[in-house]
Amino acid sequence: MSIEVLLVEDSPGDVRLTTEAFRDANKIIHLHVALDGIEAMAFLRNEGVYVDAPRPHFILLDLNLPKMDGREVLAQIKNDGNLKTIPTIILTTSTAQEDVVQSYQLQANCYLSKPVQLDEFEAVVKSINDFWLTRAKLPQPR
């Protein structure tokens, strides 16, 4: 069985780092990538080219995205009866308190700041894996 994870991230470097860090942390993770908010919502709603996309076990969401920013994506996820139970983890460079507060007001399940250093970034991804895939009980995708 694989663990389906949707990474919503527009930075190719961060996509590569996250992919490599998850590959090292847990071999059963199948990472899907959406490069902007509109693509993320199409994936989650199985629209267009994503008609057969799997329902993710959880979502890693950047806030600063093109086309539709992460705050709007988060609001749409948590206002959709079919999507709101998917744990949504904010993983962003922003450390601004207003972003933290707004994310939790929009019902984010967790807020993590991306570290700049590679080893620290890998440690954050490992901690996501250790908590969300080892300790936390996740709803099963339908």
For 6-16, what is each residue's pLDDT tens digit?
A: 999 999 999 99
Q: What is the pTM of this model?
A: 0.93
Q: Which domain holds residue 8?
A: 3-135
Domain annotation covers residue 62? yes
Domain count, the chain: 1
According to DSSP, residue 51 is labeled T
Average pLDDT over residues 30-42: 97
Taking 90 as the threshold, does the pLDDT of residue 27 lie above it?
Answer: no
Under the banding of pLDDT at 50, 70 and 90, the label for residue 70 is very high
On whether the CB atoms of residues 32 and 4 are closer than 8 A, the answer is: yes
CATH number at residue 71: 3.40.50.2300
Domain annotation covers residue 141? no
On whether the CB atoms of residues 88 and 74 are closer than 8 A, the answer is: yes
Q: Where are the alpha helices (DSSP H) in 8-92?
A: 12-25, 37-44, 70-78
Average pLDDT, the chain: 92
Taking 90 as the threshold, does the pLDDT of residue 72 lie above it?
Answer: yes
Under the banding of pLDDT at 50, 70 and 90, the label for residue 57 is very high
Q: How many angstroms separate the CA atoms of 92 and 129, rounded?
A: 17
Domain annotation covers residue 140? no
Taking 80 as the threshold, does the pLDDT of residue 141 lie above it?
Answer: no
Under the banding of pLDDT at 50, 70 and 90, the label for residue 134 is confident
End-to-end CA distance of the chain: 14
